[in-house]
Amino acid sequence: MEQQKGAVMRRGMGLGLCLLGLMGGTAGAQAPPDDAPTRARHVEWKGPYFLLGLGVEGYTGKLAPNLDPGLSYGVVLGYRTNDYLGVEVGYSGGASNITISESGTPGNPDIVRNGAQAAVTLGLSSLRLQPYVLAGIGVERYSVRSGNFFRFLDDTGGYAPVGAGLRYQLNPHLTAEVRGSYSFLFSQDFARAQDLGAGDGRYLGVLQIGGSY
């Protein structure tokens, strides 16, 4: 009898030790390293950066039927004071074909746009894949190529861009991002005959890649 009790106790102790070992192994497998959550949720976005961009832009409102979507390009230099808040200045250019609907009107001139803008960006997280929003103000020069067309004239005017984007840190020094924006146009006499209103503006979608330090 005593031997049977001893055998049962030994088997019970062995089973208990096995269960403890399994529980400990499971807990160890589920518990990440101490620094894993930090790596997963945070990267360093602070510091200076530059971006080169290429995309497409088009016009809305009364401008849309007369200006085809065209190529857009630009350069951005910026600085993030922390992982969220940044300021930037940049060059923005574009070219659009004028759609001529009047019969017998010769030529098909392009409008070339060259502008400079300043903007504030606000990151919405500190993740490696970071969404952000932006707002700014700029000035630009419109040049009508291939001769003047009575609906459009060379002109200098202002605009106010607002937008959003998504940036991804490929490594600590290389970043890629997509950005979309809408620019409210004001004092735009380049399209004097269009009688522009509040719904007339320019949209932009661009892919950008650059570095940070």
Judged by average pLDDT, the poorest of 56-60, 65-69, 141-145, 195-199 is: 195-199
Please tell me whether residues 18 and 50 are part of one structural domain.
no
- Digit-coded pLDDT (tens) for 115-134: 999 999 999 998 999 999 99
pTM of the full predicted structure? 0.74
* Nearest-5° Cα angle at 187, 143 to 85: 95
Please tell me whether residues 132 and 204 are part of one structural domain.
yes
Please tell me whether residues 23 and 103 are part of one structural domain.
no
Please tell me whether residues 136 and 204 are part of one structural domain.
yes
Domain that holds residue 6: 2-31
Report the candidate in 155, 143, 141, 139 with the shortest Cα–Cα distance to residue 111: 143
Say how far residue 35 (Cα) sits from the centre of its chain.
Answer: 29
- Digit-coded pLDDT (tens) for 22-51: 344 433 434 334 444 444 467 889 999 999
- How many structural domains is the chain composed of? 2
Tell me what percent of the residues of the chain surpass a pLDDT of 70: 69
Are 110 and 142 a contacting pair, CB within 8 Å? no
